[in-house]
Amino acid sequence: MGKHTIFFHNAPSIVCTYSAAGKKESEGPIGSLFDYVLEDDYFGEKTFEKAECKMLSTVIEKVIKKSGYRKSDIDALISGDLLNQIVSASFAARDFNIPYIGIYNACSTLTEGLALGATLTDGGYMSDVIVATGSHFSTAERQYRYPLEFGSVRPPQSQWTVTGAGAAIVSRKGKGPKITAATFGKVVDYGVSDANNMGAAMAPAAMDTLITHFNETGRKPDYYDLIVTGDLGALGSRILKHIISQNGYEITDNHVDCGEIIYNIDEKEYQGGSGAGCSAVVFNSYIYRKLKEKELNKVLFSATGALLSTTTTQQGETIPCISHAVALEND
């Protein structure tokens, strides 16, 4: 066994998922699969931040309801988001009488959470946990870039932060696609400093984790029906395929990036979607359904995160990135 990859021998399963997304996201290629679509980006709240929090609350509450569980069946909520101090997750957790484990690895928070949820349940410490993440275009823009009112022009290498959230129940005893292994990523920094070019910054981190996973498990890329990355976007995905090929691994035939498939091909989004909500809505709708219906039986899911802040960018730092992978398999 390698040191970055851990195996779950009791094979905890994902028994239920729930996704909520914005109107724009619902008009994309997989929009019809979302459980819930927001009427507008305020979601009945006075601020975008409160709307983001309400999205997370909603998916947590609804996944419990959809699964037939009671709130008291859930042993922990593992959650994070992109806002400062992950306040959307923390304020959403306030609505539930459930132990709360706050996590943050930017847009790789979802797979970090699935890996920790699998550990807690596989090890017999807990029975059922919820993993929930999300993001909101308007809160991300004003926190990381410019307020929308500023009317900033977006460069062609940029991506569009997804307004959406997703929740999954990881269970020791239930039925569903199993989490069989996880590869925790390390921080990788190739020196990219353009906060508008996340795909280029994150591609090497995705490659590092995928290659580590292949080496430590002895599996080749074609072991998996699909290798899913989180939000590299179109440019980042091309970079990943190119550099991983240079290192002797071919994933062109079975790779898809959540950021590439969430929006229609449209000039305004340039490289596609990004944000913790991007992989959250795509995984918890499209990918999960394909696993559940056994159209896919082996999926490697490696969400990618850019670990910058506005302060580090202003202080001239480059962008450290990370990617955590989980292997999902049907019996």
Closest CA to 275 of 23, 64, 91, 52: 52
Q: Quickly list DSSP for 247-312.
A: TT---GGGEEEHHHHSS-S-GGGTT-EESHHHHHHHIIIIIHHHHHTTS-SEEEEEEEEE---HHH
Q: Which is nearer to a second copy, 102 or 238 (CB)?
A: 102
- CB nearer to a second copy: give 116 or 210: 116
Q: Whose structure tokens read 């984790």?
A: 209
Of 297 and 313, the one with the shorter C-beta distance to a second copy is 313
- End-to-end CA gap in the chain: 21
Site string for a second copy, 91-110 (x = CB under 8 A): x-xx-xxxxxxxxxxx----
Segment lying near a second copy (by CB under 8 A), choices 24-32, 81-89, 153-161, 281-289: 81-89
CA atoms of 117 and 63, how far apart (whole Å): 16
> For residues 166 and 133, is the Cβ–Cβ distance under 8 A?
yes
Note whether 6 binds a second copy by CB under 8 A: yes
The residue (of 110 and 234) whose beta carbon lies closer to a second copy is 110
Which residues inside 136-175 make contact with a second copy, applying CB under 8 A? none
Which residue in the set 196, 215, 297, 312 belongs to the binding site for a second copy (CB under 8 A)?
A: 312
Q: For residue 77, list its beta bridge partners.
A: 100, 130
CB of 117 to a second copy, least distance (A): 11
Coil, strand or helix: which one is 131?
Answer: strand
Q: Does 225 bind a second copy (CB under 8 A)?
A: no
Radius of gyration of the chain (CA): 18
State the alpha helices, DSSP H only, in 135-283: 137-144, 198-217, 233-246, 258-261, 276-282
CA torsion 237-242-246-247 (nearest 10°) is: 10
Told to check if 295 binds a second copy by CB under 8 A, we report no
Q: Which one of residues 38, 86, 201, 296 is an interface residue with a second copy (CB under 8 A)?
A: 86
Q: Which of 90, 157, 196, 215 binds a second copy (CB under 8 A)?
A: 90
Query: Among residues 126 and 261, whose Cβ is nearest to a second copy?
Result: 126
Instruction: Determine which residue in the list 47, 152, 247, 264 makes contact with a second copy, applying CB under 8 A.
Output: 47
The type of residue at 194 is D
Q: Which one among 35, 41, 112, 260 touches a second copy, defined by CB under 8 A?
A: 112
Return the number of the residue (246 or 311) whose C-beta is nearest a second copy: 311
| Contact flag: residue 22 with a second copy (CB under 8 A) | no
Of 80 and 233, which has the nearer Cβ to a second copy? 80
Q: Which is nearer to a second copy, 76 or 202 (CB)?
A: 76
Q: Does 230 bind a second copy (CB under 8 A)?
A: no
Pairing of strands 76-81, 128-135: parallel
Name the 3-class secondary structure at 171. Answer: strand
Residue 325, SS3 per DSSP: strand
Q: What is the footprint of a second copy within residues 188-217 (CB under 8 A)?
A: 189
Q: What are the backbone angles phi and psi of residue 133, rounded to the nearest 5°?
A: -140, 165
Closest-CA residue to 106 (of 144, 61, 68, 72): 144
When asked if residue 184 is in the footprint of a second copy (CB under 8 A), the reply is yes
Minimum Å gap between C-beta 113 and a second copy is 10
Distance CA 299, CA 241 (A): 17
Instruction: State both tokens at 29.
Output: 């290629």
CB closer to a second copy, 209 vs 229: 209
Give residues in contact with a second copy (CB under 8 A).
3-4, 6, 46-47, 49-50, 72, 75-76, 80, 83-87, 90-91, 93-94, 96-106, 112, 116, 119-120, 122-126, 184-187, 189, 307-312, 315, 317, 320, 322
